[in-house]
């Protein structure tokens, strides 16, 4: 197991993590400027989790959150949410969940539920704001995470096979 994790972090994985962090930040910035109820701050995390494995995806999410937490301190307490998104996405991708659109849809719903529950728990524990926003649970998170999963799925469909061959977990895409 540790050998597979170690092999996931060779060469291109580190570049993918950096690109993933940048894509996450760009998505977060773009959405903050539009006022839409989307975040799109996990596209890089999901991409890296699929093509480089769960641990690389988790690291991408964690680094993104820590960097965004410096710029906007409100992000900092939520560090475990993108970490969990990376882990779960990577493990599901390893199990073949990124090869068919229906499974990608289900994956989006799963990470949406996890993100919504974790975020709500953190908000309650850290900020004392235990509220249940039905629109957040049933619309915002599911739309955001399903859109994120499909954006990554579509991007991977259009990437040249030569690029995909370079990824540590290329079998998750083929």
Local confidence band at 168 (pLDDT 50, 70, 90 cut-offs): very high
Return the pLDDT at 49.
98
Return the closest-CA partner of residue 80 out of 109, 108, 117: 117
Which tens digit of pLDDT belongs to each residue from 78-122?
999 999 999 999 999 999 999 999 999 999 999 999 999 999 999
- Helix (DSSP H) and strand (DSSP E) numbers for the chain: 9, 0
Q: Are the beta carbons of 115 and 79 closer than 8 angstroms?
A: no
Distance separating alpha carbons of residues 75 and 65, to the nearest angstrom? 6
Q: Are the beta carbons of 16 and 52 closer than 8 angstroms?
A: yes
Return the pLDDT at 18.
97
Q: Are the beta carbons of 55 and 17 closer than 8 angstroms?
A: no
Local confidence band at 36 (pLDDT 50, 70, 90 cut-offs): confident
How large is the average pLDDT for residues 146-162? 97
Distance separating alpha carbons of residues 50 and 45, to the nearest angstrom? 9
Return the pLDDT at 7.
77
Query: If you average pLDDT over every residue of the chain, what do you get?
Result: 93
For 161, residues 6+ apart whose C-beta sits below 8 A from its C-beta are: none
Q: Which domain holds residue 118?
A: 2-172
Distance separating alpha carbons of residues 102 and 108, to the nearest angstrom? 10
**Predicted model pTM:** 0.95
Local confidence band at 2 (pLDDT 50, 70, 90 cut-offs): confident
The CB density around residue 156, as the number of other CB atoms within 10 Å, is 20
In the chain, the percentage of residues whose pLDDT exceeds 90 is: 78
Return the pLDDT at 161.
95
In the chain, the percentage of residues whose pLDDT exceeds 70 is: 100
Residue 39, SS3? coil
Distance separating alpha carbons of residues 47 and 53, to the nearest angstrom? 9
Q: Are the beta carbons of 24 and 42 closer than 8 angstroms?
A: yes
Q: Are the beta carbons of 153 and 101 closer than 8 angstroms?
A: yes
Number of domains in the chain: 1
Return the pLDDT at 5.
79
Domain harbouring 166, CATH code: 1.10.1760.20
pLDDT greater at residue 142 or residue 35: 142
């Amino acid at each position: 197991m540790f050998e597979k994790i170690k092999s996931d972090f060779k060469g291109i994985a580190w570049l993918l993590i950096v690109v993933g962090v940048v894509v996450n930040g760009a998505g977060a910035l773009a959405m903050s400027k539009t006022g839409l109820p989307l975040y799109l701050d996990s596209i890089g995390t999901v991409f890296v989790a699929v093509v480089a494995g769960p641990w690389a995806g988790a690291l991408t999410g964690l680094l993104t959150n820590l960097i965004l937490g410096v710029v906007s301190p409100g992000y900092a307490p939520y560090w475990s949410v993108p970490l969990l998104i990376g882990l779960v996405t990577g493990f599901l991708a390893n199990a073949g969940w990124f090869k068919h659109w229906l499974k990608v849809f289900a994956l989006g719903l799963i990470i949406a539920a996890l993100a919504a529950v974790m975020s709500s728990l953190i908000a309650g524990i850290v900020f004392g704001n235990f509220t249940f926003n039905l629109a957040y649970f049933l619309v915002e998170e599911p739309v955001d995470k399903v859109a994120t999963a499909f954006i990554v799925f579509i991007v991977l469909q259009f990437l040249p096979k030569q690029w995909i061959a370079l990824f540590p977990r290329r079998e998750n895409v083929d």
